[in-house]
């Protein structure tokens, strides 16, 4: 068993103590940034906006995570509200951070005119990297642990950091006291390992199954993150004690996790149904002779039409022959040039006139046809573009 109990303070900068939790938050951001650059390059997305965007998302996640933690641990702050905004910032709630972070992603993708679903597939593994690293800050704070255990990897928790359910003898709490030398299940470690596994699962799913004509469409991996983490966190909550924020006796973290997983699954089903419907409509339109512009990227990407017309061939008139411009065609088919000679036509003029007519017909056939106005996409096409199949 692990008897080591870490000091939560990494170092002091004057009157301010820098905690390992904060150091872990910074390291988590750096790791997520590295992976974001790598995945964006692989998928042909812009990388010049990543740094600025991650700063915005990190600040948004910090605000939301802090707000969730304060609500969850309201008993610690209700008598001293300044503790909410004054250091040390020793607590964050991941669901609050995910909510405000997602709002930031929506804002940024609209601002930079990016595909929200494609970037969702990129961001999901990055979040798991940040979680896998950041959870070790919980270890330094001696938090996020389960009930007492005899497992070899059980960790020691000092009395002042225990929830009331596992209080030490002589300390206030509920139920029978827990021995001072007890060891506890390291739930932070479980979550860190599961997040690492999730990174490889997300990347594998994108590489192998996401794209046009494949099982998944752009955005599915991002949505599957909520399924993965929602089930992961809800399962671990069954081992956690000392809940502060409950709803009908159930921890909010479990309810939010299961709710997010359910909402993500429903969204995936709805998006795939829209894609299938639009794909069938596009195929039927193509069979009926609809223009290619009616087929949007929401289902099957239309290929660019190939210009099959050829440039008119420049003809040089032989001496004594009329030029091609002398023949004015009146129909799309071959036309016969009217002789311009006022006098009677001689036998020497006849071959030249016939040859000019042939050249006139050739020029007429090679003229470019007028382009038909492009069909204006309808409401269904715009919805299909929103729920598009464009692959990661």
**What string of pLDDT tens digits covers the 392 residues of the chain?**
888 889 989 888 888 888 898 899 899 999 999 999 999 999 999 999 999 999 999 899 989 988 988 888 887 788 888 888 876 666 788 899 999 999 999 999 999 999 999 999 999 999 999 999 999 999 998 988 999 999 999 999 999 999 888 889 888 777 788 999 999 999 999 999 999 999 999 999 999 998 766 789 999 999 999 999 999 999 998 888 766 677 887 888 899 999 999 999 999 999 999 988 887 666 565 555 444 444 444 443 333 334 444 444 444 444 444 444 444 444 444 444 444 444 444 444 444 444 444 444 444 444 444 444 454 455 444 544 544 444 44
Whether omega before 88 lies within 30 degrees of 0, making that bond cis, reads: yes
State pTM to two decimals.
Answer: 0.69
Q: What is the pLDDT of residue 183?
A: 95
What's the pLDDT at 291? 47
pLDDT of residue 14: 84
Give per-residue burial for 89-122: e unless 16+ CB within 10 Å, then b: bbbbbbbbbbbbbbebbeebbeeeebbebbbbbb
**Which segments of the chain are extended strands (E)?**
9-13, 16-19, 155-156, 183-184, 246-247, 250-251
* Percent helix, percent strand, percent coil in the chain, to nearest 5: 55, 5, 40
Kindly state the tokens that stand for 116.
């929200």
DSSP letter (8 states) at residue 75:
H
Residue pointed to by tokens 């002789």: 339
Predicted pLDDT at 88: 62
């Amino acid at each position: 068993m692990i008897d080591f109990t870490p000091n939560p303070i990494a170092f002091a900068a004057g009157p301010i103590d820098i905690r390992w939790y904060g150091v872990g938050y910074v390291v988590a951001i750096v790791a997520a940034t590295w992976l974001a650059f790598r995945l964006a390059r692989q998928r042909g997305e812009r990388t010049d906006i990543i740094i600025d965007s991650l700063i915005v998302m990190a600040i948004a996640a910090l605000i939301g995570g802090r707000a969730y933690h304060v609500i969850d641990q309201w008993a610690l702050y209700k008598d001293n509200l300044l503790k909410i905004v004054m250091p040390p910032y020793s607590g964050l709630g991941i669901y609050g951070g995910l909510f405000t972070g997602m709002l930031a992603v929506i804002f940024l993708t609209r601002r930079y005119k990016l595909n929200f679903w494609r970037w969702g597939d990129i961001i999901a593994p990055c979040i798991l990297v940040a979680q896998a690293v950041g959870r070790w800050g919980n270890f330094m704070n001696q938090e996020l642990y389960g009930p007492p255990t005899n497992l070899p990897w059980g960790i020691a928790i000092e009395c002042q950091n225990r929830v009331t359910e596992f209080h030490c003898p002589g300390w206030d709490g509920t139920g029978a006291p827990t021995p001072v030398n007890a060891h506890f299940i390291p739930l932070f470690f479980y979550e860190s390992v599961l997040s690492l596994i999730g990174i490889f699962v997300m990347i594998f799913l994108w590489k192998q199954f996401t794209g046009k004509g494949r099982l998944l469409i752009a955005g599915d991996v991002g949505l599957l993150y909520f399924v993965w983490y929602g089930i992961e966190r809800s399962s671990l909550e069954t081992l956690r004690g000392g809940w502060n924020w409950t709803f009908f006796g159930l921890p909010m973290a479990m309810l939010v996790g299961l709710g997010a997983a359910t909402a993500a699954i429903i969204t995936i089903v709805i998006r795939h149904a829209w894609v299938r419907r639009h794909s069938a409509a596009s195929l039927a339109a193509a069979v009926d002779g609809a223009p290619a512009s009616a087929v949007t990227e929401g289902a099957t990407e239309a290929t660019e039409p190939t210009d099959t017309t050829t440039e008119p061939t420049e003809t040089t008139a032989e001496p004594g022959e009329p030029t091609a411009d002398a023949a004015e065609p009146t129909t799309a088919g071959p036309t016969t040039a009217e002789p311009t000679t006022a006098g009677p036509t001689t036998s020497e003029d006849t071959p030249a006139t016939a040859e000019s007519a042939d050249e006139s017909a050739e020029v007429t056939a090679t003229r470019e046809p007028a382009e038909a106005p492009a069909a204006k996409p309808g409401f269904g096409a715009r919805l299909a573009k929103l729920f598009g199949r464009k692959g990661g």
